Amino acid sequence: MYSIVTTQQGSKAIYFDNNLYRLRKRNKNGTGRWVCTNRLCSCCLIIEDENLQFTRGDHNHESQKISLSIIQVVHQIRRKVCNDLLKPITQIYKESVSTYRRNEHTAESIPMFNALRLTLYRDRSTVLPKLPKSLHNLLIPAVFTKNLYNENMLFFDNKQITRILGFASLPTEKIFSKNRGNQRSQKPR
């Protein structure tokens, strides 16, 4: 049987007999024509109502060297990179690979981090806000104005040409205000 997977570009593909297929065309009769992802190969699958009807042609290349379980691990890493923004991408990769190897009891070859690096950083960039062109355009989401105890940390935001942001915890703000009062009570000589 075949499995539906997500490619590194984010599109759907079919994994069948150690080869990947992409959707070429949906026909009026409800069938889908899936062609080999190797552009020089003429092999294709015809699928109707999620059932493989038949295959056409022979592959003129070697099969994928990557197993379905590895494709799924890479997809899982890509999801974690987008969902866990506080954890470094390298750490997510290392943890996922070691968990996979420990759970599957395998030393199967997994794509090296450098082979996935651009894809993972591109995935993360899709969920992060765009960098502003100037400080005036900088929007600070509410989640970044509070600490882990949900206390306000942003105590000053001067939205002038020379923008100044001030972040401090509540105890620190109290110290600032106390010192400010002490300075006012002292008279210049």
Helix axes 113-127 and 68-83, enclosed angle (nearest 10)? 40
Q: How many CB atoms lie within 10 A of CB 103?
A: 8
pLDDT of residue 181: 59
Residue 50 scores a pLDDT above 90: no
Q: What angle do CA 17, 6, 62 make, to 5 degrees?
A: 30
pLDDT at residue number 65 = 65
The residues spanned by each domain of the chain are 3-56, 68-127, 135-181
* Alpha carbons 189 and 102: distance in angstroms, whole number: 73
State the pLDDT confidence band at 48, using cuts at 50, 70 and 90.
confident
- Give residue-wise pLDDT tens across range 58-110: 888 887 667 778 888 888 999 999 999 999 999 999 999 999 888 888 777 77
